[in-house]
Structure 1
């Protein structure tokens, strides 16, 4: 019987299919195979003067499925004797390691299918023991992490006008944090730093050999003194950009502080309305639906101070969007300061003082318009990974999962 089509399907050029058997009860197809070559060179001395000494036994090795049939290869363990060094050895197959029950292709498939799912669901879908799926997934993940991270770092080193993003994400909120380093232009994650304190960043800088190879023109981060000091020491030539969305949070927090005071002075019905729709005040006005715009106008009519601070918040959004360059941005920011001072509220004054302290970094956004918006989205994915894997205790496995899954789309684009 001819099996040349089956040989193409299994994509293992060193063997030929001799026979095929279907087990309808278990949904397994057994493929009896044999090596294409009659003898194999001696693995000890490299001699081709080798004598074939029969088949000792057959191994059952799991391979990629064929049309939803679980595939088992019946591989002969051919005994060989070298005529030069008199060594005895068993035929070695390139597609499966010695004494293993799964082909390398199947192991790679397990690693790929682990993206975005738990090991338990992967084990059930592939009908393999949990411990086996977990072992192959972790081993493949480690190799994939090395390849992925090396590729991302090399691209970042070679990138023209490299822009980095630095931000922390919680392992356990309020207790332990990690810091991520991101290539904003390339859209990938370069590394994870354990912790966010100054000593953690310095230790990472000393142990990471590639850091001195990076030459960013700008680094985007929040208003953390620790990060700014780290970037100033590590990349003194790069401009430091205060992340737009972190800066805007100071403004919205000041607005809500005023809103909460206004609520206390309103009637019961008005207070309930303002509290129920307070999130509409955060969204920029032109992004609201007509119905929501009407609701916001109703809320602003409750108090003049609330209306003034809402207009002040909207003016800050316009400052980010409409400033053409850094020089114009500085002039418009001075006008915005004066608008805020007229509100005469402690929370507003505190916000203005913070932005004045970081004015250079805030205005740097208009020199290179980059934000950490993609980084924040990646943090949501990391939180999902942590919940899905129950906060993996093994630090290496934890980092491997994050770096591989967060860079998965980027690596697929390269391939």
Structure 2
């Protein structure tokens, strides 16, 4: 029987099919090398003869047509006439003494990203220990490649914009810091911790970090980050992340809402509290029904309505200010509007705004935010939940680097 076209589908040019046995869920393909002998791996002589085939290796390959596929490949013994060495035939598609082809191992490793080793092991009917070994080997190789490539791209990028933000390992207790290339859309590295000392330690001990030359760095209002960036990137514009800043304004709005609802009836208090999240939403994103509910909530107290309009004006300032010069004038107007309300909770927010005025206005010099960074942080959180966390710090870091740079992996 001719297996010409099946040989082409198998796509392993160094072997040819001898026989195929199939059942409902499984296919066993017996193959043999096309060449009669193989050069000596020690002296590279072509003067080699066969010493027989003591056994055949059973190697699992990629599934085909809904069936698992195993290759039966001969373990051909060879002897070199030149140097007298004996060796076994080496196949390029499978490593010595391995039970899975390179293609199948690569497939198994790729299946594990986005899920767990246990899940992939069960679905592919592969022993957990084998699945873990394959995945960790592939992860180590990929993370090194991805990390080096992402950092090299950032070093070479013109007008580089960095993003810095922390993410929780254990909420309220332990944090790491993520370093991002916002312009290239890459996750560069994980910095252990978020204090000034930990950031300095990372920068001092990483050569590639010292080669970065950003024109701007986007971050939240954490003083440690700004001090760190001011020291290492003195020429870069420090931009306060828009969404972190806006959170201070929405928190002030919610504080006013809590203040107002204390004086309301029980029913009105419950109504206002249950719809409080709609107050944070942008007015132009509200549906007609949501607009009606918001207007009803604002009708409870003029202080709440005034603060809500003040919050919307801040969003308009971010969206519509054409440049930094005009943004500064509009910001002063918005600041005075907040002061005129004479509310302590609003004044607390304005105090923060005044302290970080330049960094907030810098957004209008270069319009970058950490929105993509927050997306990667959510991916990291999902990864940590999926793995019930991991004690191996190396694997933890490697997996985050690969998962957050899937385009490079």
Instruction: Normalising by structure 2, report the TM-score.
Output: 0.97
Does the 8 Å contact 1:10/1:64 carry over to 2? no
- Residues 158-169 of structure 1 mapped to structure 2, 5 A cutoff: 158-169=156-167
Does the 8 Å contact 1:47/1:82 carry over to 2? yes
**Is the partner of 1:169 in helix, strand or coil?**
strand
Mapped to 2, the partners of 1:271 and 1:297 lie a distance apart of 15
Change (3 A) 1:43 1:376: same
Q: Which residue of 1 aligns with 2:277?
A: 279
Q: 1:395 aligns with which of 393, 396, 401?
A: 393
**Is the partner of 2:140 in helix, strand or coil?**
helix
Mapped to 1, the partners of 2:195 and 2:61 lie a distance apart of 48
Instruction: Confirm or deny that 1:71 pairs with 2:59.
Output: no
**Is the partner of 2:91 in helix, strand or coil?**
coil
TM-fit CA distance, 1:216? 1.2
- Residues 179-218 of structure 1 mapped to structure 2, 5 A cutoff: 179-218=177-216
**Is the partner of 1:80 in helix, strand or coil?**
strand
Aligned length: 409
TM-fit CA distance, 1:321? 0.7
Mapped to 2, the partners of 1:219 and 1:4 lie a distance apart of 59
Mapped to 2, the partners of 1:226 and 1:45 lie a distance apart of 61
Q: 2:365 aligns with which of 351, 367, 373?
A: 367
Greater displacement, 298-307 / 240-249? 298-307
Mapped to 1, the partners of 2:197 and 2:15 lie a distance apart of 56
Q: How much is the aligned-residue C-alpha RMSD, in angstroms?
A: 1.2
**Is the partner of 1:43 in helix, strand or coil?**
coil
**Is the partner of 2:51 in helix, strand or coil?**
strand
- How far does the alpha carbon of each residue in 1:292-318 deviate from its partner, in whole angstroms, 9 at most, with x for none? 111111111111111111111111111
- How far does the alpha carbon of each residue in 1:134-170 deviate from its partner, in whole angstroms, 9 at most, with x for none? 2111111111111222222222222222111110100
Instruction: Confirm or deny that 1:16 pairs with 2:16.
Output: yes
- How far does the alpha carbon of each residue in 1:27-85 deviate from its partner, in whole angstroms, 9 at most, with x for none? 22111111122111111122222122111211001111111211111111111111121
Mapped to 2, the partners of 1:199 and 1:36 lie a distance apart of 62
Instruction: Confirm or deny that 1:411 pairs with 2:396.
Output: no
Greater displacement, 155-164 / 250-259? 155-164
Does the 8 Å contact 1:45/1:85 carry over to 2? yes
Structure 1 residue ranges without an equivalent (≥5): none
Mapped to 2, the partners of 1:36 and 1:199 lie a distance apart of 62
Mapped to 2, the partners of 1:69 and 1:316 lie a distance apart of 60
Mapped to 2, the partners of 1:206 and 1:48 lie a distance apart of 54
**Is the partner of 2:54 in helix, strand or coil?**
strand
Mapped to 2, the partners of 1:298 and 1:5 lie a distance apart of 72
**Is the partner of 2:122 in helix, strand or coil?**
helix
Instruction: Confirm or deny that 1:102 pairs with 2:107.
Output: no
- Residues 7-406 of structure 1 mapped to structure 2, 5 A cutoff: 7-24=7-24, 27-406=25-404
Structure 2 residue ranges without an equivalent (≥5): none
Mapped to 2, the partners of 1:100 and 1:173 lie a distance apart of 43
Mapped to 2, the partners of 1:42 and 1:206 lie a distance apart of 50
Does the 8 Å contact 1:169/1:179 carry over to 2? yes
TM-fit CA distance, 1:266? 1.0
TM-fit CA distance, 1:186? 1.5
Mapped to 2, the partners of 1:235 and 1:5 lie a distance apart of 61
**Is the partner of 1:56 in helix, strand or coil?**
coil
**Is the partner of 1:139 in helix, strand or coil?**
helix
**Is the partner of 2:307 in helix, strand or coil?**
helix
Mapped to 2, the partners of 1:317 and 1:355 lie a distance apart of 14
